[in-house]
Amino acid sequence: MQTTIEQAARLFLEQDNILVITGAGISADSGLPTYRGVGGLYNTGQTEEGYAIEDILSIEMFERRPELTWKYLLELEKSSRGRRPNAAHEALAYLEKKKKRLWVLTQNVDGFHHMAGSEKLVEIHGNLHRLSCTVCEHEEERDDYIGLELPPACPQCAGLIRPQVTLFGEALPYEATRVYEREMNRGFDCVVVIGTSAVFPYIYGPVVEAARHGIPTLEINPDRTELSKIVRHFLPGKAAESMLAIRRIFEEANS
């Protein structure tokens, strides 16, 4: 059902345990391209090498041709370089401080929720700014990839360096999965999904489950997705302006 900003804001005001699931759409308002949907980088399917982006960003390709995977990881990093979290990331970090329990589950690897100050945060696909060696224990944080020779070699053992992001065909990171499962088991009384085409089961699963159990669900997206049919509230809008409006109503009600 199409909803209003006021109805959407009421969920944030009334519910104590809120799960917010985000995808590339929330960072689109910071100027980052999405994969699919409005403004998608890869709507046309193939890269200039003739591979699908999913094949290039896969663990098989990384093991066979790390320079090719790195080329596209660099593209992703470049697209976020110099960009900042927007009003939607900031509103979520603000609401987390005000609510009893608000968790953000993101598929984004740009690190923007972390930068905005979200702490109850699961980065289920990792973060491009954290690099580690595939051979030894070496780890490093980088603001950007400027000056990196691709594929980068470990300063300690000369092994291949990779970003701590989940490549296609790879298991999800252990610690993020542990926190994800723990919080899902505790349960939520409201599930909000912002800017994702929701192709992964661990992303659409909590929304489908909540809808099935009559738990309120809200989707914020300028376009309809597979989830739009099942959520209780669909807010057709961009992430930043919608979350800013919700934050204003929340602040007004709490002043």
* Catalytic residue set: 125
- Binding ligand NAD (rule: CB under 6 A), the pick from 8, 18, 32, 121 is 32
The whole-angstrom separation of Cα 116 and Cα 136 is 31
Residue 87: burial class (beta carbons within 10 Å; 0-12, 13-18, 19+): buried
Q: Which two tokens stand for residue 70?
A: 């790195």
Q: Which two tokens stand for residue 107?
A: 């598929």
Return the one option of Zn ion, ligand NAD, none that residue 108 interacts with (CB less than 5 to 8 A, by type): ligand NAD
Instruction: Count CB-CB contacts under 10 A for residue 132.
Output: 16
Residue placing its CB nearer to ligand NAD in the complex, 82 or 214: 82
Give the x/- contact pattern for Zn ion in 114-133, rule: CB under 5 A.
-------------------x
Return the one option of ligand NAD, Zn ion, none that residue 121 interacts with (CB less than 5 to 8 A, by type): none
- Binding ligand NAD (rule: CB under 6 A), the pick from 5, 10, 19, 29 is 29
Q: Which residue in the block uniquely carries the two structure tokens 């945060």?
A: 121
77: contact with ligand NAD by CB under 6 A: no
Q: Give which of 104, 80, 121 is closest to 18, Cα–Cα.
A: 104
Per DSSP, the three-state class of 255 is coil
239: contact with ligand NAD by CB under 6 A: yes
154: contact with Zn ion by CB under 5 A: yes
Give the torsion through C-alpha atoms of 1, 85, 149, 174, to 10 deg: -60
Return the one option of ligand NAD, Zn ion, none that residue 127 interacts with (CB less than 5 to 8 A, by type): none
119 phi, psi to nearest 5 deg: -115, -35
Residue placing its CB nearer to ligand NAD in the complex, 143 or 223: 223
Residue ranges in 192-221 that form contacts with ligand NAD under rule CB under 6 A: 194-198, 221
138: contact with Zn ion by CB under 5 A: yes
Amino acid at 242: S
The whole-angstrom separation of Cα 64 and Cα 242 is 43
Residue placing its CB nearer to ligand NAD in the complex, 77 or 96: 77
3: contact with ligand NAD by CB under 6 A: no
132 phi, psi to nearest 5 deg: -145, 160
69: contact with ligand NAD by CB under 6 A: no
**Binding residues vs Zn ion (CB under 5 A):** 133, 135-136, 138, 154, 156-157, 159
Binding stretches for ligand NAD (CB under 6 A): 23-25, 27-29, 32, 34-40, 107-110, 125, 194-198, 221-223, 225, 238-239
